[in-house]
Structure 1
Amino acid sequence: MATTAYLPLQQTLGHFVQHARLDDVAALATVALLSTAYVTKGRLWRKTDPYSFKLYERPQQQPGAIKAAEQSKNLGERLEQSNADIAILWASQSGTAERMAGRLAKDLRKHFGARVLLLDLSDIDPASCADVPETKLAILLASTFGEGDPSDSMHDFWAWLHQDQGSPQVLSALRYLAFGLGNSNYKHYNHVIDVVASQLEARGAHALLPTARADDANGDTEEHFLEWKESVFEVFQGQLGYKQQEAGYEPSLRIVEDASLEPIDLHHGIPQTRNAKKPSSTESKIYALPIIQSRELFSDATDRNCIHMELDLTAFQDLKYKTGDHLAVWPVNPTAEVELLISVLDLGQRRALPCHIKSVDETPVKVPSPTTIDALFEHYLEVCAPVSREHVGLLATFAPTDAVRALLTNISVDRSVYAEHLESNHVTLARLLQYASGGVGAWSQLPLSLVVEILPAMQPRYYSISSSSVVQARKVAITAVVSDTTLSTAGERIPGLATNYLLSQMNGQHPRGMKYSLPTSHQPLSSGSLHAHLRKSTFKLPTLASTPIVMVGAGTGVAPFRAFVQERARLKGMGREVGPTKLYFGCRNAAQDFIYKDDFVEAAVKLGDAFSMTTAFSRPDNATDKQYVQDRILKEATQVCDLLVDGNAYFYICGSAAMARDVTDAVSKVVMARQGWTEEQMKDFADRQKRQKRWQQDVWG
């Protein structure tokens, strides 16, 4: 039985071995074939495409990024490398000087055929201005902000101007033109461009025109720029030998639709800083911050609103603020304005198509690319910005009818006619086009490149942080009054862009029905969050809590002082010695807009005698009690002098520039009378305090 049982098993094993040998041969043949294919890959078959890596590059990557980093910082060399005769250098804080520099560069190329090099002032070595030959020309546009401060991109150049250059004629070959942007509400109006011009001339440079200054106190920056540009054109014709030529619209951008792009390749609305290649040391990255809570601060909010909003930093470990810093909020355009612009331009069928935006004349592209029209108009361009007189004239060249062309031309050629139109109309691009010709598709032939060029890039709005990092390190609070304006003739309400956006986020809806989200996919923001980043500030409490401080704020200018007082109250509760803490606060009416009253009452209980607060109401119930903060300072002259002079207190002002100027005058008057000082002695005292950071201002126009 054993033998009988064994035979079938032996036969079975024999078949197995036979089949195994056949499988082995097949396997070996397959391995040999694959090995041969691997060895010959790239030589006999499937030769490698040397540019295949391009398939894996994100379209957002800028091909010129490496080249830009390798370029010389010597201005003379850059002019030679670019074969340019004109260098336009800009130093901008909010982007206005940058935009105007770009417009001037384009106009000089178009009207005179000039070879122009456009540069951020921080892209050059300041000392290399001495290497610019006298056959070339430098044009500088620089803004002044704060208390006569230069913009961030100008710090190296500013430091160089204040250094001893040895030879007084080190810039004897440099010819230049200068244009400053400022606001006469500020005490140091256009201080930066004045210093630049005086220092350049002290070093032997030659100005071909007197230094020009724009004043934004009444919104005249654009008109002053146009007047200066006319003078520049005269210099080019009269002194530099250029011949002006008439020229039509020449696009500086090319917009190419590309349906092959996937949603992941596109910029859907996440903001980018103006100079992403050179991150600022004073500003954080931009994040979508969740809104923890928000509330209305005005007791009567039927017509006016003031927002207190707190945002959560918990999920973003690199976001760390200090008391006195700023939060920059990136607004979103209202949906109604976006839809109106898309409608009047007849872009409804193209609004979601992916598109590349490329420069055709080396003009920097001010918006992220690739993107969509929806994202451009909702997030990246300020569609609510007023249209300048110059741009109205440019739009006239594309008018659909002779009547429309005549209407727009009439508005653009006369400054008074344009001003009258602004007084009675809300002049956004969409509203202007609709006003001129509201027919469906009437403006369908207007180049989209021109629309992108006309509209300014979206800019963040900065708010003083009204929370203390000692009290709530992972929550940041801001305070914002909704800044609507009313047309003087028509009575139409023009909503402030950022503050109405914040108001819409306060309770999930806007009290006047404004909406801020297009019904499209790939929205960059989830409900209840907004894009923002932190900016460092020098507006700081003294290191020692025992140091006396005097604070003066009006309206939302009290925001950082809420943080200051809360921090000192916390330190007092921790057993720290806290010095005299004096607050002057002004608002319209005690019953309606005395913001943070409860917070200050609570702080007063915690701080005891260390804290005192003086209020001033400009619209009290009893008209005879009308006062401003500077009036209260004059009445408390002795106390103010005791703190500022004898106590060497830190002095802070926050609010409008006009208020800050009046407060400064009042304080100067009080101290001069008490000390018997001359104006020069008072100036020396104030300058010394500012150098020691004991006199600080956080003001706006």
Structure 2
Amino acid sequence: MTQVSLLPRSAPFKEDDIARLDRVLGGATPLQRAWLAGFLAGLDAGAQPVPASAVSPPRAAEPLTILFASESGNSEKLANDAAKLARRSGFKPRVVDLAELDLAELPKAKHLMVIAATWGEGEPPGRAASGYADLMGPNAPRLDGVDFGVLALGDTAYVEFCAIGKAIDARLAELGARRAIERVDLDLDFEKGAAAWIKGAVEKLAPATPEPQTGNVVAVDFAGRAGAEPSREPVTAEVTEHINLNSSRSAKETIHLALSFEDGAPAYEPGDSLELYPENDPALVDQVLKAAGLAGDDALRRTLLSERDITTLSPATIDRFAKATGHDEARRLLDSGEARAWIEGRQLIDLLETYPAALSAEHLGDITRPLPPRAYSIASSRKEVGEEAHLLIAAVRYATHGRARTGVASTHVADRTRTGAKLKVRLKPNRHFRLPADPATDIIMVGPGTGVAPFRAFVQERRAVGATGRSWLFFGDRHFTHDFLYQLEWQDALEDGSLTRIDLAFSRDQPEKIYVQDRIRARRRDVIDWLEGGASFYVCGDAKAMAKDVRKALVDAFADVKAMSPELAEDAVRKLERDRRYLTDVY
């Protein structure tokens, strides 16, 4: 192939030099060309004589610590976005995970930006729990002279909305830091609000005098080079398998969903998730429209089906409803302080039927929020399934206040999706839940119910790469006969050696309940032996009870096997967490 000449023949170089430069520049990436442009500009500027009066003393970039507490990765992404912007504004940013914070270093921060998510009912993200406890504890250092700002992320579906961000904001001020920008609390549709707050925070915290520059220096963001991260744009997938893994006699319904992609699967790794964009139950949409006095508005119905959250009910929802309608009784519910107790187990339809009021389509749009996607752990390895991705989704069905309720995404998949259907999904990477870099490392996996999904991907991946490390799975559900998800696959994995050991806990197969944490206690000597040999420990599943119980079981195991005090046993587990050998993906 003939190479296109980049330099004109009139360039002030010999012909051989022009040919050599063409060969180099022709194969260079845009990043390499930008670097070379900046280098040459700086080199040229350095060669020019500069009047003494124009010379400014060198000044180091202003330090900025960006502290994040993240469960799903949103806060971490925003922290990295903030670092890019701060770097262009004269800062030398340092991004720190609260899970890895050295509290003694915090007083040196001078400028501090915090982006903190709240998990569940007012709890810190699992990985950040220890760091958060230290910051809130009696030994936290004074922070006089530190300027700070806090961005809080949360979910108005929970009563304790943005509780962690609020608590950190108050604590930093209590420790003597100066609030440079007011805290902002954001819901699931946080992108625009977060970008605006970060821009304002960088401006408020920025050095009073920008660092002087001489010469034509081109700034290049090498950390943001193309291809550094997989695309997170939504894509369309086709359902190629839709299988209920529970027996017909089970009280549960767990769907194995196989997805194919016309242009290839997103570049996921074991441990990542897919966010699924669901549609609301059409029957519930019709109930909401009827209660709002808007039945027959087809355009609004289409919007409610796929774009608005019509299930979440929070004090903020009631407040917006009262403002839109002027409903006195709804306002009294808020003013009396009874709203938090009243919304427990209720949804938007309950509010509309309990406090009837005529609403416009605009009102209903103002009262509701955008319908967020739901994240599900990917249950496959691309090395084994190729250009597919598999998900494991349990249908959520329950009843409260005399009304049947369903999970938005889970029953969209279970009830209204079949083979051949199209779904919109988006990759959600999780670099904090990865397999060990060394395939010779042993792993222990704890995943009851749908928590087993990422471990199916782990086992497939380790089989494909020929990993020599041992793999041990703790799995549990209700009944062996009806609820043993992927039973045949685990048996095959045991036979081919990609799974070394499996321990099962089926809670309803005997009079006393047995859970995965009970199996860990029963196998505690072997568990501690594996961990002392360098194994990594993974937990996926329910955050409210299971994950806490498993962690306590491991602390108890250290205390018993190693004859440790409870405090030293706790320190042993915290060390595993700090060393990233105790990893969780909970929901």
TM class by smaller structure: 0.5 to 0.7
Equivalent in 582, 598, 615 of residue 504 of structure 2: 615
Q: Pick from 143, 146, 149: which aligns with 1:202?
A: 143
Is residue 2:560 matched to residue 1:673?
yes
Alpha-carbon distance change, 394 to 142 in structure 1, aligned in 2, over 3 angstroms: farther
Q: Counterpart of 1:321 in 2: which secondary structure?
A: coil
Match of 1:578 among 459, 464, 468: 468
- Residue type of the alignment partner of 2:455: F
Shift of 1:602: 1.5
Contact 1:296 1:306 in 2 (8 A): yes
CA deviation after TM superposition for structure 1 residue 375, in Å: 4.8
Alignment map for 1:596-675 (pairs within 5 Å) = 596-607=486-497, 611-620=500-509, 622-624=510-512, 626-645=513-532, 647-657=533-543, 658-675=545-562
Structure 1 match to 2:246:
298
- SS of the aligned residue for 1:467 comes to coil
Q: Paired residue for 1:287? A: 235
**Residues 195 and 212 of structure 1, relative CA distance in 2, 3 Å threshold:** farther
C-alpha separation in 2, matches of 1:217 and 1:661: 24
Displacement of 1:277 after TM fit? 12
- Is the 8 Å Cα contact of residues 182 and 190 (structure 1) preserved in structure 2? no
Q: Does the aligned pair in 1 maintain the 2:118–2:161 contact within 8 Å?
A: no
Please give the residue correspondences for 1:100-179 in structure 2 after superposition, counting only pairs within 5 Å.
127=63, 144-145=70-71, 150-155=75-80, 156=83, 159=95, 171=110
Q: How big is the shift at 1:333?
A: 1.6
Does the alignment pair 1:499 with 2:410? yes
Q: Partners of 2:449 and 2:255 in 1: how far apart?
A: 12
Q: Percent identity?
A: 23
Find 1:568's aligned residue among 459, 462, 471. Answer: 462
**Map of 2:304 onto structure 1:** 377
Q: What SS class does the counterpart of residue 623 from structure 1 fall into?
A: coil
Q: Per-residue deviation at 1:309?
A: 0.3
Distance 1:548 1:167 in 2: 35
Q: TM-score, normalised by structure 2?
A: 0.66
The CA deviation at 1:695 is 2.3
Q: 1:455 aligns with which of 352, 368, 372?
A: 368
Match of 2:118 among 176, 181, 189: 181
* Cα 1:417–1:454 shift into 2, 3 Å: closer
**Bigger Rg over Cα:** 1
- Could you say what the CA RMSD is over the residues aligned between the two structures, in angstroms? 4.6
Distance in 1 between the 2:477 and 2:106 partners? 54
Once the two structures are superposed, residues 230-259 of structure 1 have per-residue CA deviations (whole angstroms, 9 ceiling, x without a partner) of x9xxxxxxxx9xxxxxxxxxxxxxxxxxxx
2:383 aligned residue: 470
Letter paired with 1:154: A
Q: Distance in 2 between matches of 1:486 and 1:568?
A: 41
Contact 2:443 2:470 in 1 (8 A): yes
Q: Is the 8 A contact 1:180 1:193 kept in 2?
A: no
Partner of 1:327: 274
Which amino acid in the other structure matches residue 220 of structure 1?
V
Q: Any stretches of 5+ residues in structure 1 without a counterpart?
A: 1-124, 130-139, 232-239, 241-271, 353-372, 509-526
The answer as to whether partners of 2:64 and 2:94 remain within 8 angstroms in 1 is no
Judging changes above 3 Å, is the alpha-carbon distance between structure 1 residues 319 and 569 closer, same or farther for their aligned structure 2 residues? closer
Q: Which residue of 1 is the match for residue 428 of structure 2?
A: 535
CA distance in 1, matches of 2:558, 2:74: 25
Change (3 A) 1:216 1:628: farther
Q: What is aligned with 2:41?
A: none
SS at match of 2:369: coil
Aligned runs of 1:475-494 on 2, under 5 Å? 475-487=388-400, 490-494=401-405
2: CA distance, partners of 1:698 / 1:292: 27
How far the C-alpha of 1:586 sits from its partner, in A, is 1.4
CA distance in 1, matches of 2:294, 2:317: 21
The answer to whether the 8 A contact 1:411-1:418 is kept is no
1:337 aligns with 2:316: no
Please show how residues 270-419 of structure 1 align to structure 2 within 5 Å: 274=191, 281=229, 284-300=232-248, 303-313=251-261, 315-317=262-264, 319-347=266-294, 351-352=298-299, 373-386=300-313, 388-399=314-325, 405-416=327-338, 419=341
Shift of 1:619: 1.6
Whether contact under 8 Å (2:505, 2:516) holds in the other structure is: yes
CA separation of 1:223/1:167 partners in 2, compared to 1, >3 Å: closer, same or farther?
Answer: closer
